[in-house]
Structure formats: C-alpha cells, structure tokens
Homo-oligomer: A and B are copies of this chain.
C-alpha cells in the first residue's frame, strides 16, 4: 500500500493517489502521512491538501502536526477545524505555536472558540483538556417524551453521544440516562426513574490518567465533567479515555527502558539518537560505580583471574531479577493494584520471592562452580553472592518505583537504570568481597 502511494507521489499522479487514499479511513490516511519520509510527506500534502478534513487532521500524531498544519492551505485548515469537536480542536491547538494557534481560533464560530479557549485554561493532561464541551442535557424533571421531542427538534447534536445528562436548574448534573433505556421506555416515564447507578462525575482538574483508569475500572462509556462549583462544563467519552490509556502504557514501557516518550516511528536517526543519549550518558556514570567497586578488588583478581570471568554472572542475573520485580511493580502501580494498603505485603512478597530464587540459583551456580573449578569454596562464594544480589534485586525492583511514586514522580521514570546500577554494584561487591574473604 505504502509502495503504491510512494509511486503515485513520485509520478505526481493525483488520480492514482486519490484511488489509493480515498477509500481509506481517516485514521489510516493519517498513519500513512506519518510513515512517509518528511520530503515525501510534503509532496503528498501538496497533491492531496484539499482532502485533508477535520477527521484526518485530528488523527495525525502530534510529532508531525505542526509541519502538516503549516503546509495546509489556509481555507482547507479553516474548514477542517470547523468540523472538529472541541476536544479535538484543543488537542490540535495545544501543540501549536502562536501564529497557527491564533489562525485556528479565528476560524472557529464564536461559541466554539469560547469553548476551546476555556479548555485551554485548564492544565495539560487534565480532564478539562480532554473533554468536549458539546453535551446533550435535559432538565431532571422531564419525561421520556419531552426528551425525545427536544432531541428531534434540535438542529445540532454531537457526532457521538451515548447518554442524556440530567441537570438541575443550576446546571449541576444529577444523573444520566442511556439512549438505550430512553428508547425502550414509554413516553410518559420520568427521566429520573431511568437514571443509571453507574453515574459519576469527573472534576475538570482531574488527571487524564485517573480518568482513563476510572473508565476502565467502572466500564463507563461517557462521564460528565464538572467545574469547582460542581456545574456541568463538558463530557469525556470512552474513545478519548481509551487513547489516554494507550498513551499511558506507551509512557510506561518506554520510560522503563529509558526512552524519551516523545519518540515516534517517523523520527530520523538524529532525533532518535538525541532522545536516547541522556540516559546512556547517565549510565556511563552509574556504570563507573561498578568499575570503582571492581578496582577495589584488583589485588584479588590478580591472584585469581577466573573471578573476572565469573563476576558478570552474578551481576547480570541480579539485573534480570531486578527488572522483573520492577516491571511488576510499575504495572501494578499503573493499575492501582499496588497502593498504600498493600505496599507492605507486596514488598515482603518480593523479599520472600527474592530469597527463594536466590537459594535456587545459588544451588545451581554453586554446584556448577564447584564441579567446573573443583573448588568448594568458589562454589560457596558464587552461591552466597547470588543470594545477596537476588535479595537486593527483588527489593530494589519494588522499592525504587514505590519511592518515586511517593515523591510524586512517575514510578517508571528510568527506574531501570537505578535498579540495574544497584544490582551491578551489589553483584560485583558481594562476589569479589566474599572471594577476598574466603578464597584469598
């Protein structure tokens, strides 16, 4: 598919390009635009600019949005943003710099512009940024018939809505009714009697990650957003919550590995290198700690060079165990499975598991060392060092993310580097220290 499109761009063949792209869903067109090399992308936008609508624009990844917006003819851009729901306009505009921002705001209707500007007053990654201001409400004293008549008469309705939100005269949401129940009920039924148990509101200042958790935990489809006075200001729908959940996961998996989470598949080698260099440089320094530890034992290694060959085994098995414990803890913190109420139990569990695996691995490695080197004492050193390092790994893997979390930081934030530094240093220290005591 990408090859066909590449060929059409190459040949400046507008007809072939349309034949390839027109049948596709906006999300797939956006993906193709993202995957093209930057020069190709510019050519494609020249040939296909008139077809870029609000739907495609809202699907384009933020890493290339600014480029795309700059290149669109002003009329196309204005038409596109007028089509978009307010949450999508906010999502687009928050990544842009001033001239484009002003231009897009100018293209909107007065009421849309007010809604977007209001949203932008809320902090980044808040429910206020995520919500759309387009909501369908009904006074709580209405009947099913009143509501259906109102909806039929309404000129404008959101693209997608799943609930009617009941509001009191001061616009406080007091419940919601699913459209399915509304359709199934007799016209004279009071709306109140159809309201769902699952109703809960979201504060406009709530973190988007907490909103995503709430949708997943309580199987919500939409949730009304309220301001500090408990007044309805918008609604968040599940597709936006699902996108946030997905971004959170991306952040966790990449941060654990020490990658800047702004990375994107369309980045070139220079951008990629720059995103990864910081943690590599930090690792140069943390790895130097291991080197310093080993240096203290140079006299020991001089007497028994085999130690130099064996020491990475203890260190690296500790690194794996630390990574395991860490991944479990970061995931459990993200799903709220690990929290204050059970942190102690989970730490004790990790300690127990670390001791058990330390013993098991010590037996295997100690026995192998004894047999291969025909030296019981070497086997004992390997075994004891392994036990010590497995315990450090298990505890480090859970305590580092818990500590970061307690300090209000992201528990995934490069905790991998901290934990493997701990297991490297401890692995070399325990092994070479014990060797000095027992073997030399």
Binding site for B on A (CB under 8 A): 1-3, 25, 27-28, 31, 34-35, 37, 136, 148, 151-152, 154, 157-158, 160-162, 178-180, 182-186, 198, 215-219, 221, 238-239, 241-243, 245-246, 249-250, 252-254, 256-259, 263-265, 267-270, 272-273, 276-277, 279-281, 283-284, 287-288, 290-292, 294-295, 298, 301-302, 305-306, 308-313, 315-317, 319-321, 323-328, 330-332, 335-338, 341-342, 345-346, 348-357, 360-361, 364-365, 416-417, 420, 424, 428
Docked CA distance A45–B312 (Å):
49
Docked CA distance A221–B365 (Å):
54
A298/B305 in contact, CB under 8 A: yes
Nearest CB in chain B to that of A346: its residue: B265
In the complex this chain forms, how many copies of it are found? 2
A287/B221 in contact, CB under 8 A: no
Of the candidates B242, B252, B291, B338, the one whose C-beta lies within 8 Å of that of A242 is B242
Residues on B with C-beta less than 8 A from A183 are: 148, 151-152, 179, 182-183
Shortest Cβ distance from residue A343 to the other chain B in the assembled complex, whole angstroms: 11
A253-B249, A353-B269 are known contacts. Are A306 and B295 too (CB-CB below 8 A)?
yes
Docked CA distance A29–B336 (Å):
14
Shortest Cβ distance from residue A26 to the other chain B in the assembled complex, whole angstroms: 9
A179-B179, A179-B180, A258-B324 are known contacts. Are A291 and B268 too (CB-CB below 8 A)?
no
Shortest Cβ distance from residue A366 to the other chain B in the assembled complex, whole angstroms: 11
Residues on B with C-beta less than 8 A from A301 are: 301, 305, 308
Residues on B with C-beta less than 8 A from A268 are: 349, 352
A320/B258 in contact, CB under 8 A: yes
Shortest Cβ distance from residue A378 to the other chain B in the assembled complex, whole angstroms: 13
A320/B280 in contact, CB under 8 A: yes
Residues on B with C-beta less than 8 A from A252 are: 249, 253
A316-B420, A327-B256, A332-B265 are known contacts. Are A356 and B281 too (CB-CB below 8 A)?
no
Shortest Cβ distance from residue A39 to the other chain B in the assembled complex, whole angstroms: 13
Docked CA distance A148–B184 (Å):
8
Docked CA distance A309–B323 (Å):
23
Of the candidates B28, B217, B321, B336, the one whose C-beta lies within 8 Å of that of A280 is B321
B324/A257 in contact, CB under 8 A: yes
Of the candidates B216, B277, B317, B354, the one whose C-beta lies within 8 Å of that of A243 is B216
Docked CA distance A161–B162 (Å):
9
B295/A259 in contact, CB under 8 A: no
A221/B259 in contact, CB under 8 A: no
Docked CA distance A355–B268 (Å):
13
Docked CA distance A265–B417 (Å):
24
Residues on B with C-beta less than 8 A from A31 are: 336-337
